[in-house]
Structure 1
Amino acid sequence: MRRLGSVQQKIPCVFLTDVKEEASRKHEHQQFQVVATENVNPVALEANVDCAFATEKLDGTCCYVAVYQGQFYLWARLDRKPNKQAEKRFRKHQHTHKSCKDFSWNVEEDFKMVPESWIPAHRVKHSNGHPIPDEHGHIPGWVPVQKSNKQYCWHSSVVDYELGVALVLKPGCDDDDLLEITALPLADLQEQTLELIGTNVNGNPYGLGSKKQPIHCLVPHGSIPVRNPPPVNFQLLSSWFQENCEGRVEGIVWHCNDGTLIKIHRHHLGLRWPDGETRLGSRPAVVRLGGASAAYSDSEGLLSWFSPLNGQRFSRLQDVHF
């Protein structure tokens, strides 16, 4: 499986963006939306985006695998955000100056508390020993997923720390279209970021599982290639998302040769998401847990439910059921 860029920071849009004073299609209660212009972002041009490797942008929640207390753990995304007073000052500055630049933060006083185990994401800038916020006023970071924390119960369902494995969705080895549900050692996923998708994440656009039998899995970032992606052109991309069966995705992430990540998603182009059946949810899938599947039957998480399905093939990912 090709290992590509780890997603630790906000990824810039492939086009320069503009802010429209109208209700967001993506974020409830947000009274503005960020839309793409037809001008390609200089960051994308500098990174030679036309020669980049295009992968599917997945609609879930970002996770990370790293060591915690001497063993490999799954970490959940937790951005440190400003408190109400600081948020008001920040928004006022943003409205007055039409920019986030030159806003002065007091990192010790302006931000909400986070758990002691919280760590800032890679490449977060520091000042006087403190991580400082990005242009959105957030400090990206991670917290370890512990079984005792019910807030992250869906994260917990895809890992077994005793066995040291995670439930992962990845492309099959012997078929371009086939997806494979498997168990991978957390050690093999070290320092990677992944997307948790499933029944109780972001409205479940991929149609996985049900309320009675929720299904979740981790998808390594950069692992689902986009076949025959269109050139980086506003009109061509807009048409591709609406007319091509391969375009039934939330967006594209380009992995450039210099390590830069660039993205586009449907909301940038004023398009709905989801809009009918998704490309990922309609792909065939097989459960391949290998010879160790019997060991997973006693697992506390989803692995025990998948164990009896070892070797079973489904015509669509969204048809997987126990």
Structure 2
Amino acid sequence: MKDFLLFFVLIFIVLGCKNEPKKTSEVKTNEFAIVIHGGAGTILKKNMTPEKEQAYKTKLEEAIKVGYDILKNGGSSMDAVEKTIHVMENSPLFNAGKGAVFTNEETNELDASIMTGNDLNAGAVAGVKDVKNPISLARKIMENSPHVMLSGKGASVFAKEKGLEIVNPSYFYTENRFNSLQRVKEKMKAELDHDGKTAFYDAEIKDSKFGTVGCVALDKNGNITAGTSTGGITNKRWNRIGDSPIIGAGTYANNKTCGVSSTGWGEYFIRLNVAHDISALMEYKNLSLKDATKEVIQQKLTKIGGDGGVIAIDKNGNMVFEFNTAGMYRASMNDKGELGVKIYKE
């Protein structure tokens, strides 16, 4: 009888172990690594021309190689993240910097953040209209001020004092983004519902792709940096701010665990503190990066109706892309120089 009971106890233990999430690996996968995203959303191959698809892939490759070269030559993950994001901020393809979407007032309001995992230092900026590269302003705030986040006119004054490149707001105008705003405004002419919104407006936000850009890098010294930059969502009002400049929601880095950059419907990412939650699951539950990102994006975020995804690198150089949308503009490079550039869900 005792042997019979022991048999079932052993079976229970074995089955239970199979269902346990994978624990954090202590094996060094990559000495250094870098991942980037250019937004996640309803990105379908049937809606993409071959020319446009190639344009995105070319720009993603250009951007990530900038950061890779810095890391390969012994540079810091912070430099790699900043310079890589510059390439995407300077491109009209992405909803950040030059390609930022328009607000309801037909202006562009830019947000960005950066965080370093060795000291948990961070900088962020929200609602600036004349700084060419918001990610550089976020870094300046982190390194040259006692604050974490600055916004609006004050942030622009700080940027000028620190010698960052200031541009006329017209620099951010692109016809494609302006036309997108006009389409949304036409739909907004529908009768308002009792919440002061329209079903058309909600559908436009849900169905549009989120072009936020981000980068996470691990350097040869074992330091992780994460950065995110965005123009927000089309037709945003009242100086709306999403998750991108929120440390712990849109961006997080900790050398003990991982670095994360988010993209998607920001309000949901803020409510779940998505980027930090992934790190917390690794630290407190000892989950692997893959399992932690999957639990947050595919379970927690989906449960409350959130769309989007994350890119992440853990302290051992493991790289992850996790998203619950049709696609994500993304790329990765490891310490062997192996490049991967993808757009659609596989």
| TM-score normalised over the length of structure 2 | 0.28
Q: Which has the higher strand share?
A: 1
Q: Which has the higher helix share?
A: 2
